[in-house]
Amino acid sequence: MNYKFADRMMTIKASAIREILKATADPQMISFAGGNPAVDAFPVEEIKRISAELFETDPVSILQYGITEGDKDCLEEALKFFNRHECVVREFDKAIMTSGSQQIMEFAAKCLCNEGDVILCENPSFLGALNAFKSEGAILQGIDYKQGEINVVDVENKIKELDPKFIYVIPNYQNPTGMTMSRKSRQALLELAVKYDLLILEDNPYGDLRFEGDAIPSIKSMDETGHVIYAASLSKILAPGMRLACCIAPSEVIEKFVVCKQASDVHSNLWSQKVMAKYLKECDIEKHIERIQKIYKQKCDLMYSEMKREFHKDVEFEKPTGGMFIWVTLPKHINMNEFVKAALEKKVAVVPGNAFLDDDTKECHSFRMNFSTPTDEKIKQGVKILGELSHKMN
Ligand SMILES: Cc1ncc(COP(=O)(O)O)c(C=O)c1O
């Protein structure tokens, strides 16, 4: 059979991470390639108890179809939760529960972009979002962003030149760089969005995984004119397997998302929404978040100090203040892809940095390391192997 796929599928490849994760099925492999929560970060006992209670008291309510916008209790509790430290829900907003925030990326591109429209994004940025945008026919254009500061002139020039549909950013503990955007840059982006009547898609799955420093207000909380779509995921705080996120945005945008969702999966899993609603209502989520922040801080400290000791002095990396990732840049004379390949042969997996670029054929000397998933022992062993390679290949 000659399978004739749509043109738009030609621009997206199987995710480099998925391919590497396949290699990590080998039990000998030390994987710094994933982005999963730590195995001891799940509130298993509470989720078990709540699930049992729901099945005991009202099984039909969790097995039946639900409404597209989301289960009323779940939506209410999620909004209360995401609004607890700052105001991210305005009078002009509506909200929808989605199947992870990945679905918000897809809906944003589907609802806002025609074939060939441009989306501005950090460069590098989250691969899953970039693939979702590309699969809807959008074209990605990276913006100049270093050490938490957006180059405002560059962004403004690109807005004027390319007339993008929206700007996609992950201001807190970004995937893949671990970088956090300054308050000044957040404000500047919002000012540009207002000036050019442009939307910002603010993706904040890691905001609560802060283990150092003070929180910086979200762009959504600064927005008084309806220029921000806010993607608030529950995956990294509670459990990605529940596939739940909440999108908060001006009502006109959410109304389009509702139509999209009806055509996509009708509604998010009602079972996990009911469990989530009860969890948020009855359990001490702040205590849970404090616990996981401690786990990630300890793992990040360990990985960073091992890297400091083991890596060649010319290898560059910075310690993030939250999230799950450390971004590593090799000296220019080391070929990053050869380094990643050699690491894989020695049974250590990291993700090549070009996978996260607006154009993955661009030259790249960086790779991403994840500290949330591996055990302490694996962190020590894997960093030692990468360190030896960094000296050998230098
Ligand atoms: C920046 C970013 N956004 C969105 C997602 C998608 O998360 P989910 O669909 O589980 O909410 C991820 C997952 O790794 C991510 O890193």
CATH number of domain containing 371: 3.90.1150.10
392 C-alpha to center of ligand 1: Å? 35
241 C-alpha to center of ligand 1: Å? 12
Q: Give CA separation, 229 vs 53, 116, 140, in Å.
A: 35, 21, 18
Asked if residue 354 lies in contact with residue 365, where contact means CB atoms within 8 angstroms, the answer is: no
What are the residues whose beta carbons fall under 8 Å from the beta carbon of 141, sequence distance 6 or more?
118, 119, 120, 121, 158, 162, 164, 358
Burial 365-394, CB ≥16 within 10 A → b, else e: bbbbbbbbbbeeeebebbbebbbebbeeee
Q: Does residue 1 lie in a domain region?
A: no
The domain boundary residue, chosen from 260, 282, 304: 282
Count of structural domains, the chain: 2
DSSP characters over 208-268? T-B-SSPPPPPHHHH-SSS-EEEEEESTTTT-GGG-EEEEEEEHHHHHHHHHHHHHHTSSS
176 C-alpha to center of ligand 1: Å? 11
Which atom of ligand 1 has the smallest separation from the CA of 105? 4
Average pLDDT over residues 288-304: 97
Shared-domain flag, residues 83 and 191: yes
Most distant CA atoms of the chain, gap in Å? 64
Which atom of ligand 1 has the smallest separation from the CA of 233? 11
101 C-alpha to center of ligand 1: Å? 6
Q: Does residue 2 lie in a domain region?
A: no
What is the Cα–Cα distance from 204 to 367, expressed in whole angstroms? Answer: 22
pLDDT digits (tens, 9 = 90+) for 334-360: 999 999 999 999 999 999 999 999 998
pLDDT at 7: 82
The domain containing residue 28 runs over which residues? 7-42+287-392
102 C-alpha to center of ligand 1: Å? 6
**Ligand 1 environment, Cβ below 6 A:** 35, 100-102, 126, 128-129, 170, 175, 203, 205, 233, 235, 240, 245
pTM for the whole thing? 0.96
Among the residue ranges 27-36, 298-307, 366-375, the one predicted with the least confidence is: 27-36
Shared-domain flag, residues 161 and 250: yes
pLDDT at 23: 78
The domain boundary residue, chosen from 232, 264, 282: 282
Shared-domain flag, residues 38 and 136: no
Instruction: Output the domain CATH number for residue 228.
Output: 3.40.640.10
